[in-house]
Structure 1
């Protein structure tokens, strides 16, 4: 008897789909169960300087400090222009008195290097850099100099494993952009002097506002140093040589969106409900672990981060290592990677999962605390399906 031909599709679509296909690295997925009803308490049409709206701003600050375990003598303020605004405020207000070391290993840290060297035009600047997937030589950091760095490379998926390279007796300030790390990774406050982030990352808040945290050492610098350049109004944190304490009590420099404030408070209260910082970290690490288990068995995908200890649990970046892909030129690789993320989006299983525009071709999957591990697990078979489909097309074209 002649065997019947196998008519089953060689690459069947997976049966399960993520309930929430939003894997963008910013703005990021809303918390599980979020709806517009979460914003019902927003004080719309009110002055942000009135008693009740100001109390909402102060609540956002105090909840953030409590969940992050920030030292009591630190100041935390809500500032304009998301994390970018917060970092720029720090750079323009604090740098100048000392030489500056900048750690650059992905797009945003390179942006800060550009700002310091080409906009502020400081003379004594060392940019200590590394390519995508690696950390720079941390041993080069000089404790006598100011230090500017990101904790987590949002566009490379490479994070710092610790802050051992920062001296406890440092003379310079440690200025840390922690926008894709805060609320998902433990931050060693005793090693830091300035920490920035935005609402749109780990807690899934709406964009536009940044958070700027200052240690007592940073405050002392603000009050003793007058920048040599003009300071825009939205950057000014001192008045008559003294810190404007109101900024760190809810008196924002410019008008905030009370709708976004309400959303931020909702995210913070949700954070408390899942166990605070420990719960948030555990959720993010579980997402990384799910992808790591899948990568371990993959014949085409690998982490962009070369050292397992430096793999981000939020901006999880993957590269393609299939031999036929690596044999393509740069343009060909970019086309394939774009097609891969496009297929995932067309199927409605992963939105905004393409690599950052300046990063090597691949995928970037947000694994922050608002993302359910079950959605990550449901996505992974789709990655194999999409890549196998593209590989089949490539072989047909080559034939």
Structure 2
């Protein structure tokens, strides 16, 4: 008979949500004491904080000096929409998707902007074959599929001599994966993913080629104020030194600064990449040792190191969605893993956030609890049969 005794060790931090994600280790609200609350973001102190956030982002991510970095409204979604509404329409477009957010960008381009885009969609567990993509078109894609656990392994297939722009949603990749800046013309992400920041603020990174497009092309559709990056045919440079389009939360800015400084303390980008990779390997090794669970990603080279998505493969499971939800509920009730159910549009299973703010020891402690919850649910199925 299966031993259903709960594991003795528990994760010290049970927060494995894929967004908002775990705060940095040792986080305390006391860390935010230097936030200039009640001060204007246009005052010298506010502008200095915003510029520091941009400068530290550039330093840690290794963004080239001639690329612009701006803080924009509405999280990663706002940054992606700003890019698409401001830049697309000048050339033919190719949309790539392998999870729900990528499919959302397809919908916006095809049904809202009404562009006659070529669309390539890969099923969950796979990614689009980049050797089939026409990079003379403007190409929009996610680097890491947060809801599918599948990522682009490298940018090697993106040609340096491309005629089109590449617009990359990198929200669950930035700060945990190496991004080839020479292959990316527009890159977006949000604070609440890999660095565990707060929501509502997005980052927009533009290559010189993207800036040239902005200054030489006017879309056929009207742009709302929060999307406008140019004035009288010239880039609004203030956006890229901390003069935000709308009012930011200075508390959230301070939180992002704290996370950026922590990132420097653990070895910068490489340290962050190493932490996420170590976390993901724990889950991959767990899957390899247990035949009833598997990575949703079909091949190891595309498996995400941040949003690790899992599927149950035991033939005794006849209702995968109900089973997966029951396992996630058991984990939450035990207080060992919060918010680890698969995304609502994804195949049934679990999604374990393994980003850089998560401690490897917590991922290691979680694995026996997943096995325990699985065994308990299988026992319930047997009892009900």
Match of 1:43 in 2: 36
SS of the equivalent of 2:196 reads coil
Q: Is the 8 A contact 1:183 1:202 kept in 2?
A: yes
Q: Which residue of 1 aligns with 2:242?
A: 250
1:299 Cα deviation (Å)? Answer: 2.1
Contact 1:300 1:321 in 2 (8 A): yes
In 1, the alpha carbon distance for the partners of 2:273 and 2:139 equals 26
The answer as to 2:349 corresponding to 1:350 is: no
CA contact (8 A) 1:82 1:198 kept: yes
Match of 1:122 in 2: 115
- 2:167 — aligned with what? 175
Which of residues 56, 60, 79 in structure 1 aligns to 2:53? 60
Cα shift readout 1:135-165 (whole Å, capped 9, x = no counterpart): 1222221121000000000000000011122
2:83 paired residue number: 90
The yes-or-no answer on 1:308 pairing with 2:295 is no
- Structure 1 stretches (4+) deviating beyond 2 angstroms? none
Per-residue deviation, 1:324: 1.0
Partner of 1:372: 359
| 2:258 aligned partner | 266
Q: Does 1:334 align with 2:326?
A: no
Which of 134, 140, 152 in structure 2 is aligned with 1:148? Answer: 140
What SS does structure 2 have at the residue aligned with 1:195?
Answer: strand
Q: Using the alignment, how far apart are the partners of 2:178 and 2:129 within structure 1?
A: 22
* C-alpha separation in 2, matches of 1:297 and 1:10: 18
Name whichever of 103-112 and 134-143 sits farther off: 134-143
Question: What is the rounded CA distance, in whole Å, between the counterparts of 1:10 and 1:60 in structure 2?
Answer: 51
Structure 2: runs of 5+ lacking an equivalent:
none
After alignment, is 332-341 or 345-354 more displaced? Answer: 332-341
Match in the other structure for 1:298: 290
TM-score by length of 2: 0.99
Q: CA RMSD in A?
A: 0.8
Rounded Cα–Cα distance in structure 1 between residues aligned with 2:93 and 2:290 = 42
Which has the larger displacement, 255-264 or 294-303?
294-303
**Structure 1 residues 32 and 80: alpha-carbon distance in aligned structure 2, compared to 1, 3 A threshold:** same
The SS at the match of 2:126 is coil
Q: What corresponds to 2:200 in structure 1?
A: 208
Q: Please say if residues 4 and 372 of structure 2, whose CA atoms lie closer than 8 Å, have aligned partners that are also in contact.
A: yes
Q: TM-score, normalised by structure 1?
A: 0.96
Match of 2:101 among 91, 99, 108: 108
CA distance in 2, matches of 1:138, 1:174: 12
Q: State yes or no: 1:275 paired with 2:267.
A: yes
What is residue 153 of structure 2 aligned with on the other side? 161
| Corresponding position: 1:13 with 2:16 | no
The residue aligned with 1:4 is none
Report the 3-state secondary structure (helix = DSSP H, G, I; strand = E; otherwise coil) of the residue aligned with 2:60: helix
Bigger radius of gyration? 1
Contact 1:291 1:376 (C-alpha < 8 Å) held by counterparts? yes
Report deviation, 1:217.
Answer: 0.1
Where does the alignment leave 5 or more consecutive residues of structure 1 unmatched?
Answer: 1-7
The question of whether the paired residues in 2 share the 8 Å contact of 1:128 and 1:137 is answered with no
Give, in whole Å, the separation in 2 of the partners of 1:369 and 1:247. Answer: 28
1:9 CA displacement: 7.7
Secondary structure in 2 matching 1:162:
coil
Q: How far apart in 1 are the matches of 2:337 and 2:367?
A: 10
2:218 maps to 1:226: yes
Q: What's the CA shift for 1:113?
A: 0.3
The alignment status of 1:75 with 2:68, answered yes or no, reads: yes
Q: CA deviation at 1:294?
A: 1.0
